[in-house]
Structure formats: C-alpha cells, structure tokens
Structure 1
Amino acid sequence: MYLTILATEESYGVAKIAEFYDKGGIIMYALTFCSLLTLAVIVFKALSLAQKNVLPNDMQKVVGHYIQNPNDTAVEQLALEASKGESVLARLTQTVMNRRESGDQKIRDALQAKAHQEIVKLQGGIQVLDVVIVVSPLLGLLGTASGITTVFDGLSSLQDVKMNIMAAGVAEALSTTIAGLAVAVPAVIGHSFFNRKIETYASQLEVTCDDLVNAVTERQDKVA
C-alpha cells in the first residue's frame, strides 16, 4: 500500500514537472542546460578548492618547521615535500627552493609569477558562473516577453477573446521568470562563496610564502 502511494506521488511529481516545462516552452530547455552547467561547475570547484589541493596541513607543518628552524634536515624535508607538487603551496615552495641561491628579489619575482599562475588556475570555472548569472535572468525575461506577446495575441480581437491562449501566455511568462531566477540564485551563491574562498587562500599563501622567502634568504646569507 505504502509503495503504491509513493509511486503515485512520484508520478504526480513527474507530471507537474512536465507540465511546468510545457508552460515555459523551449526556453526552459536552455535554462535546464544553464542549471546543469551551474551544478557541474559548483561540484568541480568544491573539489578543486578543497584544502588538500591548496593548503594541506602536512605541507603547512613542513614549511612552518623550516621557517622556525631552517637547518639542513628541514631543507631536505621541505625540498622533498615540495618536489611532489601535489598542492598549490607545494608548487610555490618548489619555486622558492629551486631559486634559493638567486637572491631575494629574483626569488620574489619568480614566486609572484608562479603565484599569479596558480591563482588563475584556482579561478578556473568561475567565469562560467558569471555567464550563467547574466544569461539565466535574461532567458527568463525573454520567456516573459514571449508570454506577454501571446497574451496580447489573445486580446487582439475584442469580439473573440481567446482565454486559453491568454492563460498559456501568462503561464509561459511566469514559468520562465521563475526558472531564470531559480537558476541564477545558486550561481550567485556559488560565485560569491568560491571567490571569497580563493581570496582567503591567496591571503594565507601570501603570508606563508613571504615568511618562507625571508627564512630562505636569511639562511643563504648565513651560508655565504
């Protein structure tokens, strides 16, 4: 009995979704594509911006140990961990270690170039959300305009007002507007969240790498 009721409710839900699509017309398919694209980007960015890919705790501990006590053992351990290049911090550290004998300014120049490259990679995919944020409401507005046009078609002849055509036009206008906003809202939330996360990572990386460069140059000055 319970399974029968559940199946009935599921069929009803599918029917309502199909009806909603029919009311919105062809624009609903474009909005569906935008919705799936937004979901794919959000999942991709959530995985790529995981802490283990940017600022893993193990790598932070190795860098911190070197900064506090830059001895030969710490240098070897840091160089070994950096050579793996499994995170943004590891690749930036590798840049510093590869140029540790080049002098402070050359190290910082190379680090700045590498950091810019890594930040651009972290921002990959965010541009897609920018497009969705702009396009989805416009598609909804296009559907609204199309629906209103249908309404006026129904009013074109006062002697024979076609109520079914007018109702279809209103339904199309409302459905696409709702769908456009429903797609844009998650895209805006994801865009803001990921941008904020990247800014936080960038700030932490800047502080850590600056301390690392200072420790490396001080050590090289002592060795020299």
Structure 2
Amino acid sequence: METVISLSGLQPVFAVLEVDASVNQKIWEFLLSGGIFMGFIAICSFVAFAVAIHRLISLRWRSVLPPELVGRLERAERIFQQGHAIELFRELDASDSPIGRIGCVAMLPEHGTREEAQDAVEATAREEVVRLQTGLSALEVVITIAPLLGLLGTVSGLVTVFATLGENGDVSDPSIIAAGIAKALNTTIGGLAVAVPTVIVHSFLQKRIEALAARMEILMGHLLSTFHRNGGRALYEHELAEQRREPVAESPFTSLQGPPEQEDEEESLEMGEFPRSSN
C-alpha cells in the first residue's frame, strides 16, 4: 500500500518564504542604489542603535538610584538618631552608583559647614549628570548628519542622472528621468529613516536624565539638611566616642595591671579615625 504525502498544507509556508525573499531582495537593492552615501547612513544607524541600547541599560532607575540605598536615604533622620551615621557613610561609599558617590561627598567629615558640603555636592552632581549624558552627543551627531548625507546622496544622484541624459541627448522618454530621480531620492529616505527614530530615543533619554537628576537633587537636599541638623561632623565624633566606651571582656591579668591611661579626647577623635571615601 503506497503512502501519499500531500504538500498542499505547506503552500502558505512556501508563499510566505517567497514574500520574505522578495522583500529582502528589495531592501538590498534599495541599500545598493544609494551608493557610498547609503553606506555612511548605514554606519550612522549602527552607531545610533548601539548607543541607544547602551544608554537605555545604563539609565535604568535601579542602576542610578538603587531602591535599597534610596530607602536608607529617606530614613536618614532615624539612622542618625540611632547612631548609625558611619554605617550609612560606608554604604554610600561602597555603592557604585551616582547617588552613592554624591551622598558620600555630602557626608564627608572634611566639610565643616553645610555650605561647604552643598558646594561640593553640587560640583559632584554636575559631574555625575555629565556622565549620565555620555553618548547623547553621538546621537545628536547622527540626528544632524544622517539627513544631510541623504540630501547629499540625492543631489549627487540627480547630477548623475542629468549628466547621463545630457550625454545621450534623448529626453523623449520621461520614465527614464523619473526612474533616475526616484533612485536618487532613496538616500533621502534612508537618512530620514535613521534620523527620526534617533530623535525619539534622544528625547526619551534626555527626559530620563532630567527625571533622575531631579530625584537625586531631592534626596541630596534631604540628606544634607538631616545630616547637619543632627550635628554633621559631630555625629562621627559621638559614634567614635561611644565605640570606645563599649565594655571589653575582663582578662584574668587585668588585676595585675595598673589603671588604664586616659587618652586625650582630641587625639582619640583625629581625622584619621573618621570615615573616608575610597573614591
């Protein structure tokens, strides 16, 4: 008994494959018709795509403003009152995020007054915003030059078309002129097709940076006011003094030793014992 395999059910699949092959062929012909200018536009599209993906990943809220650290900053008042200022400073210093680096500067014990700390925070914040804007200049360049490359390719194509017609001297068939002009306009289409999505991505990233900067400004304002309202540098001095007053397990040889020498209060609170930034 012979088995007959029917391929009628696969006809829609073959039709789709034929359509895809036809579309790919047309896209390839479209790119080749633009010549060298279309190649430059393609390079612009690759640059814009790579930068956009990188910045979209880097500018995630969790990367710039880690939720755990933000929660700690929002509870700064309670943390300082409980005597954990040094612990919070170390958490900020260990965080490889913009908010961590700015917060670490805000709590440096070297700043004697809030005004000094605020000036340092503003300078660091400007530097961090510049870091967040890394890559946006590349997108701006693509937005500017992609349409210009398309226009240049179109003008070059039109010059070639009319030069060819001038040499042949045959302008009786308008379809030849129309086909040449249509081919020359392909680079303009390509340039605009790259520039328009890049404008959208650039605008989105710019708004994201503005939102992140505004949130960081609010958090740093809260941290500065809370830190200096609770004593500022004196918080570290108090915590270091409390750590020295913690009872130590008595040694069996304690009774054989003389009374412990009293350390000078000022020497025990030297700057070398304060928390310092590792950045």
TM-score (norm 1): 0.90
Equivalent residue number for residue 198 of structure 1:
209
Change beyond 3 A, Cα 1:221–1:107: closer
Partner amino acid for 1:156?
G
Change beyond 3 A, Cα 1:162–1:214: farther
**Higher helix residue share:** 1
The answer to whether the Cα contact below 8 Å between 2:154 and 2:185 also exists between their aligned partners in 1 is yes
Distance 2:181 2:111 in 1: 71
Comparing 92-101 with 123-132, greater Cα deviation is found at 92-101
Q: Could you tell me how far 1:162 is from its partner in structure 2?
A: 8.3
Equivalent residue number for residue 272 of structure 2:
none
The answer to whether the Cα contact below 8 Å between 2:44 and 2:194 also exists between their aligned partners in 1 is yes
1:131 aligns with 2:141: yes
Q: Could you tell me how far 1:42 is from its partner in structure 2?
A: 0.6
Match of 2:177 among 156, 166, 179: 166
Q: Could you tell me how far 1:211 is from its partner in structure 2?
A: 1.3
Partner amino acid for 1:58?
E
Distance 2:149 2:51 in 1: 20
Distance 2:116 2:58 in 1: 30
Equivalent residue number for residue 152 of structure 1:
162
Match of 1:187 among 198, 219, 233: 198
Which consecutive residues of structure 1, in runs of 5 or more, have no partner in the other structure? none
Q: Could you tell me how far 1:72 is from its partner in structure 2?
A: 4.0
SS at match of 1:220: coil
1:91 aligns with 2:74: no
Equivalent residue number for residue 29 of structure 1:
39
What does residue range 1-224 of structure 1 map to in structure 2 within 5 Å?
1=10, 2-67=12-77, 70-99=80-109, 102-156=112-166, 159-161=169-171, 166-167=177-178, 169-220=180-231, 223=234
| Same amino acid, percent of matched pairs | 35
Change beyond 3 A, Cα 1:104–1:161: same
Which consecutive residues of structure 2, in runs of 5 or more, have no partner in the other structure? 1-9, 236-279
Q: Could you tell me how far 1:57 is from its partner in structure 2?
A: 1.5
TM-score (norm 2): 0.73
Higher Cα radius of gyration: 2
Equivalences, count: 224
Distance 2:232 2:37 in 1: 66
The answer to whether the Cα contact below 8 Å between 1:143 and 1:172 also exists between their aligned partners in 2 is no
Change beyond 3 A, Cα 1:159–1:142: closer
SS at match of 2:230: helix
SS at match of 1:98: coil
CA displacement 1:66-101 (0-9 Å, x = unmatched): 135522444244223202122111111111122365
Equivalent residue number for residue 248 of structure 2:
none
Distance 2:189 2:59 in 1: 31
Change beyond 3 A, Cα 1:145–1:67: farther
Change beyond 3 A, Cα 1:162–1:68: farther
Equivalent residue number for residue 276 of structure 2:
none
The answer to whether the Cα contact below 8 Å between 2:109 and 2:233 also exists between their aligned partners in 1 is no
